[in-house]
Amino acid sequence: MEIEVISIMESYGMFCLLWRSIMSRIIFPLGRTTRNLLSKTMCHLTLPMRWLPSDSKSFGPPRGYYHHARTYVDQHDGRYQTVFPERKRVHAEPSSIYSSTHWKFKNEKESTLREDYVATIPKGRIVGTPGDVVTANDRLLADASKQLATEAQCHHLLRKPWLPTLEKIDGNIAVLASDRGSEFYHWFVDVLPRIYLVNKSKERIDYYYVPDDDSYKKKTLQKIGIDSGKIINPSQDHHIEAAKVIVPSLPRTFGNVPRWSTEFLRKRLIPTVDEANSKLPSRVYIDRVNVLRRKVANRERTINFLKKYNFKPVRLENYKWDKQVSIVRNASIIVAPHGAGLVNTIFCSDGCNIIEIFSPNYMNLCYWKLLQNLNVRYHYIIGSGKRPKKGNDPHYGWDPIEVNIDALENTLEAILR
Q: What is the pLDDT of residues 54-96, one digit of tens each?
A: 889 988 899 999 999 999 999 998 999 999 999 999 999 999 9
What per-residue string of b and e applies to 358-394 under the rule 16 or more CB within 10 Å gives b?
Answer: bbbbbbbbbbbbbbbbbebebbbbbbbeeeeeeeeee
Alpha-carbon span 44 to 277, nearest angstrom: 57
What's 381's domain CATH number?
3.40.50
Contact criterion met (CB below 8 Å) for 157 and 145: yes
Whether residue 273 lies inside any domain: the answer is no
Whether residue 131 lies inside any domain: the answer is yes
Say what angle helices 259-269 and 193-201 make with each other, to 10 degrees: 90
Whether residue 201 lies inside any domain: the answer is yes
- Residue 346, classed as helix, strand or coil, is helix
Q: Which residues of the chain have pLDDT under 50?
A: 1-9, 12, 27
- Residue 205, classed as helix, strand or coil, is coil
Whether residue 130 lies inside any domain: the answer is yes
- Residues 290, 196, single domain; the answer is no
User: Among the three residues 254, 274, 300, which one is the final residue of a domain in this structure?
Assistant: 254
- Residues 250, 357, single domain; the answer is no
- What H or E segment, with its residue span, contains residue 273? none
- Residues 306, 210, single domain; the answer is no
Contact criterion met (CB below 8 Å) for 289 and 314: no
User: Among the three residues 206, 238, 254, which one is the final residue of a domain in this structure?
Assistant: 254
How many other CB atoms are there within 10 angstroms of residue 300's CB atom?
Answer: 8
Beta bridge partners of 174: 208, 246
Whether residue 37 lies inside any domain: the answer is yes
Give the total number of structural domains in the chain: 2
CB neighbours of 161 closer than 8 A, spacing ≥ 6?
Answer: 9, 12, 13, 16, 49, 59, 60, 61
- Residues 170, 318, single domain; the answer is no
Whether residue 104 lies inside any domain: the answer is no
- Residues 85, 217, single domain; the answer is yes
- Residues 246, 320, single domain; the answer is no
- Residues 80, 217, single domain; the answer is yes
- Residues 158, 241, single domain; the answer is yes
- Residues 221, 287, single domain; the answer is no
Alpha-carbon span 164 to 146, nearest angstrom: 20
The DSSP code for 401 is: B
Alpha-carbon span 191 to 177, nearest angstrom: 6
How many other CB atoms are there within 10 angstroms of residue 343's CB atom?
Answer: 22
- Residues 243, 287, single domain; the answer is no
Alpha-carbon span 228 to 270, nearest angstrom: 21
- Residues 331, 408, single domain; the answer is yes
- Quote the pTM value: 0.87
State the burial class of residue 136 (Cβ atoms within 10 Å of its Cβ: 0-12, 13-18, 19+): middle
Beta bridge partners of 240: 126, 167
Alpha-carbon span 51 to 60, nearest angstrom: 9
- What H or E segment, with its residue span, contains residue 378? strand 377-382
Strand pairing of 125-127 and 132-134?
antiparallel
State which residues form the domain around 52: 31-89+115-254
Alpha-carbon span 299 to 379, nearest angstrom: 20
Alpha-carbon span 71 to 306, nearest angstrom: 54
Say what angle helices 405-416 and 299-307 make with each other, to 10 degrees: 30
The DSSP code for 23 is: I
Whether residue 262 lies inside any domain: the answer is no
Q: List phi, psi (to 5°) of 69.
A: -60, -30
> According to the model, what pLDDT value does residue 51 have?
74
How many other CB atoms are there within 10 angstroms of residue 48's CB atom?
Answer: 9
User: Among the three residues 217, 235, 254, which one is the final residue of a domain in this structure?
Assistant: 254
Beta bridge partners of 84: 116
Whether residue 100 lies inside any domain: the answer is no
- Residues 339, 215, single domain; the answer is no
> According to the model, what pLDDT value does residue 274 have?
75
> According to the model, what pLDDT value does residue 146 have?
87
